[in-house]
Amino acid sequence: MARSLFDKYGGFANISKVVMAFYDKALDSDILGPYFEDIDMRLLIDHQTKFIASVMGGPASFSNDALRQVHADLEIDRASFDEMSRVLGETLAEFGLKAEDVSLVIGEIQARASVIITVGV
Ligand code: HEM
């Protein structure tokens, strides 16, 4: 079902627009901005593209083990995780995803909370 969301909303051609919007919001966020302070901007865009494509069931999908490894040293707490989830949901809604499809994507994000959150658990 998640794969069809990626296709339904135009694949990578359209995802690039979502990425730009999400990128701006993440950097503007007082909570999320600091996580990306020392990160190469190309990496950030790459992250956002993979992030969105993976949670929409696109070809760039990651195992939980891979996600755990990538985020292990980032000290992500529940508040930051939820902020990421909120900002993504807001972006997807602005991008024209139906409310039920936004919920599906956010469900995919929330299902990975225990893999990403390493602080305060
Ligand atoms: C389900 C939720 C998430 C998914 C699916 C996800 C996905 C990813 C992926 C695939 C990468 C690796 C990109 C690459 O291969 O270059 C990555 C890196 C990264 N993620 Fe996430 N992410 C999630 C949540 C978060 C959250 C909540 C934060 C911070 C609040 C975050 C911050 C970062 C940072 C800073 C990197 C770069 C690490 C580095 O290159 O040193 N991610 N994420």
Q: What's the N-to-C CA distance of the chain in angstroms?
A: 31
What is the reported pLDDT for 7?
Answer: 87
Q: Using CA atoms, how far apart are residues 107 and 4, in angstroms rounded to an integer? A: 15
Rounded to two decimals, what is the model's pTM?
0.89
Ligand 1 centroid from CA 97, angstroms: 22
Ligand 1 lined by 95 (C-beta under 6 Å): no
Q: Considering only 25-29, 40-44, 72-76, which range has the smallest mean pLDDT? A: 40-44
Ligand 1 lined by 74 (C-beta under 6 Å): yes
**Cβ contact 35:80 at 8 Å:** yes
Q: What is the pLDDT of residues 66-108, one digit of tens each?
A: 999 999 999 999 999 999 999 999 999 999 999 999 999 999 9
- What is the set of domains in the chain, with CATH numbers? 2-116 (1.10.490.10)
Q: Would you say how long the chain is, in residues?
A: 121
Q: Using CA atoms, how far apart are residues 120 and 18, in angstroms rounded to an integer? A: 30
